[in-house]
Amino acid sequence: MSVYKEITAKSLLSSSTKPDSWFGTKYNMNLYRGCEHQCIYCDSRSECYKIDDFNNTEVKINAAELLQKELKSKRIKGTIGFGAMSDTYAPVEARYKLTRKCLEIIAALKFPIHILTKSALVVRDLDLIKSISSEFAAISFTLTTADDTLAKIVEPKAALSSARFSAMKKLAKAGIYTGITMMPVLPFLEDNLNNISAIVESAAESGASYIIPAFGMTLRGRQREYYYQKLDESFPGMKMRYVKKFGNSYSCGVDNYRLLRDRFEELCHRYGIVTRIDIYEPVSVFDSEQGKLFD
């Protein structure tokens, strides 16, 4: 059971000069620190982020007030990303509703969003996401395997893959722009044609507009030790395959990249799924308000 600790944050939004080329985000925020989903490969455990107790969650109790203040001072309207370091719909959200409070502010100020999640709780906020969609909203479900049994091992506290697909279907049916971030694809565990095909087929059946893939994973200090410990618990002998193949490399790609990529692209093409997300081009807040006046 995760422990929640309320903290007062000093600031919330980070920003970049241009939208991120993969996710289209110009601004990013994490309403929580630590993540209850406990994915065994999670990069946010890495030493460089200095989150010493990743298994418990810090709750930025003043997040909504900070967001209101920080957004009002922005001159550029650009996509706000949720959940880069901590899933914004982890179970803690059911209690604190910080994501919902922030979506209310974003809807009122008409900023675009991109949410990444492994939770079905996002469906709760369909009303607000619909309203934000008039500017721009993308909801990406991260799926690394279509197999619920494997998902339970590698993403133990997240929604099962089948529940993520069902949530996506509900959003797509409601007209929301939704798709998949298929990352990571874990070497030796998820890098097979059956898995990639099953993800694309379920995506098509669930109304995904896009799938952004990354065929492999990254590993660095502290994240690597945790991942290997979990591999030892569930897949005896697997750690040695990683050690032999990747040593201390940060980038751990799949062997059969070409084969997987070709099948992935062939299936995406067949189902009319694109492999990049639409990117909202940042505009001046002033121009966007003028545009509305002249409509």
Out of 12, 19, 33, 38, the only residue in the binding site for ligand SF4 (CB under 6 A) is: 38
Residue with tokens 């985000």: 25
Query: Which residues make Cβ contacts (< 8 Å) with residue 41, sequence separation at least 6?
Result: 154, 184, 186, 217, 219, 223, 227
Give the x/- contact pattern for ligand SF4 in 141-160, rule: CB under 6 A: -----------------x--
Does 212 help bind ligand SF4 (rule: CB under 6 A)? no
Instruction: Report residue 98 as tokens.
Output: 């910080």
Q: Which tokens is 266 given?
A: 């062939």
Contact flag: residue 71 with ligand SF4 (CB under 6 A)? no
Residue number with CB closer to ligand SF4 (25 or 86): 86
Helix (H) or strand (E) holding 132: helix 126-133
Segment interacting with ligand SF4, rule: CB under 6 A, options 32-40, 73-81, 190-198, 206-214: 32-40
Q: Are strands 27-29 and 80-82 parallel, antiparallel or unpaired?
A: parallel
The answer to the question of residue 87 lying near ligand SF4 (CB under 6 A) is: yes
Which residue from 187, 188, 185, 209 is spatially nearest to 197, judged by alpha carbons?
A: 185
Find the binder of ligand SF4 among 12, 29, 31, 42 (CB under 6 A): 42
Structure tokens at 295: 């409509």
Tell which one of 35, 51, 66, 186 touches ligand SF4 (CB under 6 A).
Answer: 35
- Binding segment (CB under 6 A) for ligand SF4, from list 20-28, 38-46, 127-135, 226-234: 38-46
d(CA 248, CA 3) in angstroms, rounded, equals 33
Asked whether 4 and 56 are in contact (CB, 8 A), the reply is yes
Taking CB under 6 A as the binding criterion, the range among 36-44, 95-103, 104-112, 146-154 that sits at the site for ligand SF4 is 36-44
Instruction: Determine the Cα–Cα distance for residues 88 and 121; give it in Å rounded to an integer.
Output: 10
**44 lies in the binding site for ligand SF4 (CB under 6 A):** yes
CB 7, min distance to ligand SF4, A: 18
Identify the residue whose tokens are 């200090």: 221
Q: Whole-angstrom Cα distance, residue 120 to residue 123?
A: 6
E strand intervals along the chain: 4-7, 14-15, 27-29, 32-33, 57-60, 76-77, 80-82, 113-117, 137-142, 177-182, 210-213, 216-218, 251-253, 283-284
Choices 10-18, 31-39, 97-105, 252-260 (CB under 6 A): range interacting with ligand SF4: 31-39
Stretch that binds ligand SF4, among 30-38, 91-99, 123-131, 164-172 (CB under 6 A): 30-38
* 85 vs 76: CA distance, rounded Å: 24
For position 118 contacting ligand SF4 by CB under 6 A, the verdict is: yes
Q: Which stretch binds ligand SF4 (CB under 6 A): 4-12, 35-43, 92-100, 216-224?
A: 35-43
Instruction: Compute the least distance from the CB of residue 50 to ligand SF4, in Å.
Output: 15
**114 lines the binding site for ligand SF4 (CB under 6 A):** no
In the complex with ligand SF4, the residue whose CB is nearer, 29 or 39, is 39
Q: Cβ 43 to ligand SF4, closest distance in Å?
A: 7
Alpha carbon distance, N-terminus to C-terminus of the chain: 52
**Interface residues toward ligand SF4, by CB under 6 A:** 35, 37-39, 42, 44, 86-87, 118, 158
